[in-house]
Structure 1
Amino acid sequence: MDINERITLTNQKGGIGKTTLATNLARGLAARGKRVLFVDFDVQGNAGYALNKFVLPKAVSSFDLISRKLNPDEFDEADLSLLTVIPADPRLADCGTMDIKTAVNCYEENLTLFADKFDMIILDTPPTLSNTMMIALLVSRYVLIPIEVETFSLLGLQSLLATINNTKRYAADLKILGLVLNQVCYNKPRHINELKNIRSKLGELVFKSVIANRDSIAEAQKLQCDLKDLKKRAARKAVGEFELFCDEVIEKLQVEDR
Structure 2
Amino acid sequence: MDNATWDDTPIAAAAQRAAWIRSPRTPQLDKPESPRLITVSNQKGGVGKTTTAVNLAAGLAHAGMKVLVVDLDPQGNASTALGADHSAGTPSTYEVLLGELSAHDAMQQSASHDNLFCIPATIDLAGSEIELVTMEHREYRLAAALNEEFLAEEEFDYVFVDCPPSLGLLTINAMCAVNEVLIPIQCEYYALEGVGQLLGNISMIRQHLNPELHISTIVLTMYDARTKLAEQVAAEVRNHFGDVVATTVIPRSVKVSEAPGYGQTVLDYDPGSKGAMAYLDAALEIGGRGDYRPADGSDDPLGVAPADG
Q: What's the TM-score bracket when you normalise by the shorter of the two chains?
A: 0.7 to 0.9
* Structure 2 residue 61 is matched with structure 1 residue 30: yes
Conserved in 1, the CA contact under 8 Å of 2:96 and 2:106?
no
Within the candidate set 177, 188, 198, 1:139 is matched to 177
Question: What 5-or-longer segments of structure 1 have no aligned partner?
Answer: none
* Structure 2 residue 126 is matched with structure 1 residue 89: no
Larger Rg: 2
* Structure 2 residue 277 is matched with structure 1 residue 240: yes
Equivalent residue letter for 2:124: R
Whose strand proportion is higher, 1 or 2?
1
Q: Tell me which moved more, 59-68 or 112-121.
A: 112-121
Conserved in 2, the CA contact under 8 Å of 1:13 and 1:153?
no
Shift of 1:188: 2.0
Counterparts of 1:81-230 in structure 2, within 5 Å, are 81-97=114-130, 98-99=132-133, 102-112=137-147, 114-115=150-151, 116-117=153-154, 118-169=156-207, 170-230=209-269
Question: What 5-or-longer segments of structure 2 have no aligned partner?
Answer: 1-32, 294-305
**Quick one: structure 1 residues 103 and 187, their matched pair in 2 at CA, closer, same or farther if it must change by over 3 Å?**
same
Distance 2:104 2:283 in 1: 34
Q: Tell me which moved more, 96-105 or 150-159.
A: 96-105
Whose helix proportion is higher, 1 or 2?
1
Distance 1:202 1:152 in 2: 16
Identity %: 28
| TM-score after normalising by structure 1 | 0.86
Moved beyond 6 Å, runs of 4+: 76-80
Q: Tell me which moved more, 248-257 or 60-69.
A: 248-257
Distance 1:72 1:197 in 2: 40
| TM-score after normalising by structure 2 | 0.73
Equivalent residue letter for 1:244: D
Equivalent residue letter for 1:60: P
